[in-house]
Amino acid sequence: SDLQKQEERGELLQPLIFVLLVLCSVLLYFKVSLMDPGFVKPEEEMKEGENKGQGVVIPQIPGDVKLRRCGYCLVKQPMRAKHCQLCQQCVRRYDHHCPWLENCVGERNHPLFIVYLSVQLVVLLWGVHVAWSGLYFEQSWEWLQHNIFLLVSFLLIFIFTIVVLLLLVSQLYLISCNTTTWEFMSSHRISYLRHSELENPFDQGIILNLWRFFC
């Protein structure tokens, strides 16, 4: 009867939403970590040759920049692809290799990675709020003994929240500029950026960059 009364007052709605968000976060984690991030396959070279000139918008490549074959897996690398030493494959629009996911973030799973970070941030912020609401501070050893677990949990969740928030903000900034983490960190070593007349030849404006990435 108490459970029914809580349900009538809507007190069970928030815990239910929180559990669903946690479940969604876990499912997104496995989805992003297990899916193909955009590995370049040798058989795709023929398809790329057939698809040339079909209206795909790419920036002008300087004349002295040549697309090359990967020195590790020997596939012809498309522009913005990079070989990942950990995955042992070239990845299209390579952003970075995420040790938490044990997978690369690339062309195919990058948008879903942003969704995962967003859901994870909501869960962590909610967890920080719940942990903080359960704390009441007293300057006594007995209080610390009874609340040490909750205090440690709050500090850990708070640290993870800051990390995820910074990662999400930095990712959204790079996406709005139509660049990747790898390109941002290593532009001086990437031939098609080093020889380009533009600082970022892929930038088409914030709105169009976001639209092309998410839609």
Q: Which domain holds residue 203?
A: 2-37+100-214
User: Residue 76: inside a domain, yes or no?
Assistant: no
Amino acid at 32: V
* pLDDT tens digit sequence for 11-34: 678 888 999 999 999 999 999 999
User: Residue 148: inside a domain, yes or no?
Assistant: yes
Residue 86 pLDDT greater than 60, yes or no: yes
Average pLDDT estimate for 54-63: 46
User: Residue 178: inside a domain, yes or no?
Assistant: yes
User: Residue 182: inside a domain, yes or no?
Assistant: yes
- Give the C-alpha separation, 162 to 155, whole Å: 11
Sign of CA dihedral 17, 23, 24, 29: positive
* pLDDT tens digit sequence for 203-212: 999 999 999 9
Residue 2 pLDDT greater than 80, yes or no: no
User: Residue 120: inside a domain, yes or no?
Assistant: yes
98 is catalytic: yes
Residues 112 and 31 sit within 8 Å (Cβ to Cβ): yes
User: Residue 72: inside a domain, yes or no?
Assistant: no
**Residue 193 class from Cβ within 10 Å (0-12 exposed, 13-18 middle, 19+ buried)?**
buried
Residue 54 pLDDT greater than 50, yes or no: no
Average pLDDT estimate for 47-61: 48
Average pLDDT estimate for 90-110: 95
152 or 53, greater pLDDT: 152
User: Residue 169: inside a domain, yes or no?
Assistant: yes
Position 210 scores a pLDDT of 94
Position 6 scores a pLDDT of 56
Mean pLDDT of the chain: 83
User: Residue 134: inside a domain, yes or no?
Assistant: yes
Number of domains in the chain: 1
190 or 134, greater pLDDT: 190
Structure tokens that stand for 75 in this block? 């596939």
Question: What residue has token string 């006594």?
Answer: 140
Sign of CA dihedral 54, 204, 206, 179: positive
Amino acid at 167: L
Residue 52 pLDDT greater than 80, yes or no: no
| Active-site choice (98, 104, 177, 215) | 98
Question: What residue has token string 């501070």?
Answer: 137
pLDDT-derived band at 77 (thresholds 50, 70, 90) equals confident
Q: How far is CA 11 from CA 4, 86, 140, 194, in A?
A: 10, 47, 33, 58
Percent of the chain with pLDDT over 70: 78
Structure tokens that stand for 27 in this block? 């499912």
Question: What residue has token string 């973030």?
Answer: 105
E strand segments, 24-167: 82-84, 89-91, 96-98, 103-105
